[in-house]
């Protein structure tokens, strides 16, 4: 296979190609490194990468396969790791000068899980400052004048630009789904507690959720199963059978799914005109399987997410601020100061309201297979605006702990917009199955109208 073919492979395809001898891990990793050489100066997706070390791992993977030893489901396939996730091979600098040169002696649980499935950690992808709102130096590969979103900026840009088949990201408000939407790829935030956060920078214990950026739903399912394991070191990790996502995620639904189109209370103020039109078209196209509904109380949910994140940011990052306020951006300092002033009663009420708010979802899912809602207010903002876009359409589902996927289905003037689908907690497989049904339905339509 030629390098230009290799870099287009998904994780599943690459793993199969290595397993079948159609390529080697060394050729695959070499192709991605060449792509990075050619493109990273313009895109700026990578924080740390060591070519020789990556190739050495690839050669070792090929040797293992050559010996006829057993191989894991990701054997020899490179993956990118957001630079807030501890790795023993590379520094973890959290997008913040206070962590310059910071290196962990241990891999985070999620990195160890990927390695034990055979994956090769290619390098660390750029994060915004402490995974918050200050933009990174990353460019959106679809349009280099635009933002890739945040905070998983490098992960999304690298996957979209064919520098890596998939990457780990994290979401506290909308840091996986928004960049996926802006960069035209898949973003998946599984159920809160499915992937252990042990070894990951904590900005909000109530909200932080690890997620994935990839170019196919098959990859999201495969990687989720590799990453899913109860971990006593993360108190929100829950017991589950394993693996379970691939089987349902790749199956066909017994009945056509139904969609609850939810505009959310953010719509009037935030929804871009083009995005509104694109969603109206999508709803028309889907016909009776998609109905617009209103879920009462979502305005509270948006506010509770905001309060919880603000206050927990202040609690976890406040000590950094105490140590080196001058090393943090003005925007971040202002945010942390605001968080420290959140009245403790409001914060506790916001945390304590979560389970009751989630219960309201059961009624929706009695009727519908998934909630359908925007992943972002519109296409990627221009870098010159100095923002990474708003997570307003994502944060409420993060707060509720529900699995959410951004499916790259819509476009406005050549710029992608993701369709967010949201499922019930611990029902990640069904959500991926529904997303796959939707993506296939739209592909068929496109090929028919072409």
Question: Which residues contact a copy of itself by CB under 8 A?
Answer: 205, 235, 239, 311-312, 314-316, 318, 339-345, 347-349, 352, 355
Cβ proximity to a copy of itself, 307 vs 410, nearer residue: 307
Q: How far apart are CA 133 and CA 110, in angstroms?
A: 24
DSSP letter, residue 336: H
Q: How far apart are CA 332 and CA 83, in angstroms?
A: 18
Backbone angles phi, psi at 345, to 5 degrees: -60, -45
CA 88 to chain centroid: 22
Q: How far is the CB of 348 from a copy of itself (least distance, A)?
A: 3
Q: How far is the CB of 316 from a copy of itself (least distance, A)?
A: 8
Cβ proximity to a copy of itself, 50 vs 355, nearer residue: 355
Cβ proximity to a copy of itself, 257 vs 339, nearer residue: 339
In Å, what is the CA distance from 343 to each residue of 208, 338, 346, 356? Answer: 21, 10, 5, 21
Cβ proximity to a copy of itself, 156 vs 350, nearer residue: 350
The residue assigned the tokens 């009624």 is 363
Cβ proximity to a copy of itself, 2 vs 345, nearer residue: 345
Contact 182, 156 (CB under 8 A): yes
Q: How far apart are CA 242 and CA 244, in angstroms?
A: 5
Task: Classify residue 214 by burial, with Cβ atoms within 10 Å: 0-12, 13-18, 19+.
Answer: buried
Q: How far is the CB of 290 from a copy of itself (least distance, A)?
A: 31
Cβ proximity to a copy of itself, 218 vs 312, nearer residue: 312
Q: How far is the CB of 113 from a copy of itself (least distance, A)?
A: 21
Which residues are CB-contacts of 307 (< 8 A; sequence separation ≥ 6)?
A: 342, 346, 347, 350
The residue assigned the tokens 């990839």 is 214
Q: How far apart are CA 151 and CA 232, in angstroms?
A: 27
Cβ proximity to a copy of itself, 312 vs 394, nearer residue: 312
Contact 380, 147 (CB under 8 A): yes
Q: How far is the CB of 368 from a copy of itself (least distance, A)?
A: 23
Q: How far is the CB of 307 from a copy of itself (least distance, A)?
A: 9
The sheet with strand 290-292 has its strands ordered as 46-49, 120-125, 78-82, 166-171, 209-214, 186-189, 404-412, 415-422, 370-374, 259-261, 290-292
Q: How far is the CB of 90 from a copy of itself (least distance, A)?
A: 26
**Which residues are paired to 121 by β-bridges?**
79
Q: How far is the CB of 314 from a copy of itself (least distance, A)?
A: 5
**Which residues are paired to 223 by β-bridges?**
none
Cβ proximity to a copy of itself, 23 vs 353, nearer residue: 353
Q: How far is the CB of 325 from a copy of itself (least distance, A)?
A: 15
Q: How far apart are CA 148 and CA 160, in angstroms?
A: 10
Cβ proximity to a copy of itself, 30 vs 318, nearer residue: 318
Cβ proximity to a copy of itself, 186 vs 347, nearer residue: 347
Q: How far apart are CA 36 and CA 47, in angstroms?
A: 12
Q: How far apart are CA 249 and CA 227, in angstroms?
A: 15
Cβ proximity to a copy of itself, 106 vs 247, nearer residue: 106
Q: How far apart are CA 235 and CA 31, in angstroms?
A: 40
Identify which of 264, 38, 71 has the alpha carbon closest to the alpha carbon of residue 161: 38
Q: How many CB atoms lie within 10 A of CB 196?
A: 23
Cβ proximity to a copy of itself, 22 vs 98, nearer residue: 98
Token duo for residue 266: 């953010």
Contact 17, 63 (CB under 8 A): no
């Amino acid at each position: 296979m030629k390098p230009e073919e290799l870099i287009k492979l998904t994780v599943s395809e690459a793993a199969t190609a290595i397993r079948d001898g159609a390529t080697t891990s060394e050729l695959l990793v070499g192709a991605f490194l060449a792509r990075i050489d050619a493109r990273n100066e313009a895109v700026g997706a990578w924080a740390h990468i060591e070519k020789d070390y990556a190739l050495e791992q690839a050669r070792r993977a090929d040797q293992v396969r050559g010996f006829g030893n057993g191989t894991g489901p990701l054997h020899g396939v490179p993956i990118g790791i957001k630079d807030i996730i501890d790795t023993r091979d590379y520094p973890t600098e959290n997008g913040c000068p206070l962590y310059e040169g910071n290196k962990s002696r241990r891999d985070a649980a999620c990195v160890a899980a990927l390695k034990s499935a055979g994956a090769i950690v290619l390098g660390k992808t750029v994060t915004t400052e402490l995974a918050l709102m200050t933009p990174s130096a990353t460019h959106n590969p679809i349009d280099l004048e635009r933002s890739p979103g945040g905070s998983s900026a490098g992960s999304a840009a690298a996957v979209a630009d064919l520098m890596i088949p998939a990457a780990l990201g994290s979401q506290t408000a909308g840091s996986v789904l928004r960049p996926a939407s802006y960069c035209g790829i898949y973003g998946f935030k599984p159920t809160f507690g499915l992937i252990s956060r042990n070894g990951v920078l904590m900005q909000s214990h109530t909200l932080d959720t690890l997620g994935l950026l990839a170019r196919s739903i098959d990859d999201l399912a495969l990687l989720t199963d590799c990453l899913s394991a109860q971990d006593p070191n993360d108190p929100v990790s829950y017991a589950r059978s394993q693996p379970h996502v691939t089987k349902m995620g790749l199956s066909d639904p017994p009945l056509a799914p139904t969609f609850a189109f939810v505009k959310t209370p953010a719509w009037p103020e935030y929804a871009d005109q083009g995005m509104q039109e694109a969603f109206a078209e999508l709803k028309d196209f889907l016909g009776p399987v998609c109905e617009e509904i209103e879920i009462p109380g979502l305005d509270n949910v948006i506010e509770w997410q905001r309060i919880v994140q603000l206050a927990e940011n202040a609690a976890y990052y406040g000590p950094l601020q105490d140590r080196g306020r001058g090393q943090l951006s003005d925007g971040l300092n202002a945010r942390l100061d605001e968080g420290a002033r959140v009245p403790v009663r409001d914060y506790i009420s916001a945390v304590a309201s979560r389970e009751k708010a989630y219960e309201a979802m059961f009624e929706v899912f009695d009727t519908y297979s998934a909630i359908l809602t925007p992943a972002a207010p519109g296409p990627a903002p221009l870098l010159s605006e100095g923002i990474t876009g708003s997570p307003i359409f994502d944060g409420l589902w993060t707060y509720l702990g529900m699995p959410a996927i951004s499916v790259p289905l819509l476009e406005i003037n050549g710029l992608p917009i993701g369709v967010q689908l949201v499922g019930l907690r611990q029902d990640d497989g069904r959500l991926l199955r529904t997303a796959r049904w939707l993506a296939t339905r739209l592909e068929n339509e496109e090929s028919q109208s072409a």
